[in-house]
Amino acid sequence: MTIGATPFSRLDDLLSGGPVSCTKMAKRVVVIGLVWCCVSGVNAVTPVSDPTVAPVSLAAAEADKAVVPEAVPADPVALPPPRLVVSADGKEIIDAKAKLAWRRCVEGMIWFGSRCTGRAKTFTMIEAQALVTAQGKATGQRWRLPHIPELKTLLDKSHTGRGAMVDAALFPATPANWHWSASVSVGAGGVVNQYNYGNIMSGVTPGNANQLKALEGWGFNFATGEASGGISKRDALYVRLVRPHF
């Protein structure tokens, strides 16, 4: 390639000249109309007498640029359905995972419109068991007292210090107090340790353990989230019934 000695440093020089090529650091020559100019890195251009220099169109130069694909927005993450949902009639809360239906109101209250009305009642264990039998006959449903692990599924710790630790939208007017459970044993069983400090203080021995077990039941406190198996069955606690739901 033959390159002239005089650089073209002004735009009118480029426009008035013939075919040109870069004198320094050129990557390629681009034709713009009838004028050749450098794509990048030039200080000056000079006339070109070599016809073998192939012009490159502006469109081709643009196509050579790196194409950055546009970011595709990610699909929104599907949230899992809530475990507890309101029944069609609003009177029960359905736990699809556990296949249970809970009464929305504690016993003594009824669901009316959009809230629990009436006054929550307390029952001894014998009274609570009699209530279960009566409700089964009256409704034809298998109502029962819940077990401790089932009651724990209703616990909502975001309400700690604000009354009962439950979702008040699902279980309004829940007493922040003890509720009866049907549980007779929670955790691992075994032989009574007569040397255990707790057993000594409560008077539990291998000889009377079964007798005391018959006199005591399990309850769950919705104010604290605490479960206890040392509640006298003569004590009066609140009751929330549950039944199978398939």
Name residues whose C-beta falls within 8 Å of residue 24's C-beta, 6 or more positions apart in sequence.
41, 42, 43, 44
pLDDT digits (tens, 9 = 90+) for 150-206: 999 999 988 776 789 999 999 999 999 999 999 987 554 444 455 555 555 555 566
Of these ranges, 62-71, 153-162, 168-177, 211-220, the one predicted with the greatest mean pLDDT is 168-177
161 and 57 share a domain?
A: no
100 and 154 share a domain?
A: yes
Residue 208's domain spans which residues? Answer: 84-244
Number of other residues whose CB lies within 10 A of the CB of residue 213: 14
- Residue 5 covered by a domain: no
164 and 95 share a domain?
A: yes
57 and 89 share a domain?
A: no
Considering the entire predicted model, what is its pTM? 0.62
122 and 238 share a domain?
A: yes
52 and 163 share a domain?
A: no
Do 166 and 155 meet the contact criterion of CB atoms below 8 Å apart?
Answer: yes
How many domains are there within the chain?
2
135 and 179 share a domain?
A: yes
pLDDT digits (tens, 9 = 90+) for 39-53: 444 444 444 445 555
40 and 134 share a domain?
A: no
Is residue 33 pLDDT above 70, yes or no?
no
Q: Max alpha carbon distance in the chain (Å)?
A: 118
Is residue 134 pLDDT above 50, yes or no?
yes
Q: Tell me the CATH number at 175.
A: 3.10.100
From first CA to last CA, the distance across the chain in angstroms is 88
198 and 125 share a domain?
A: yes
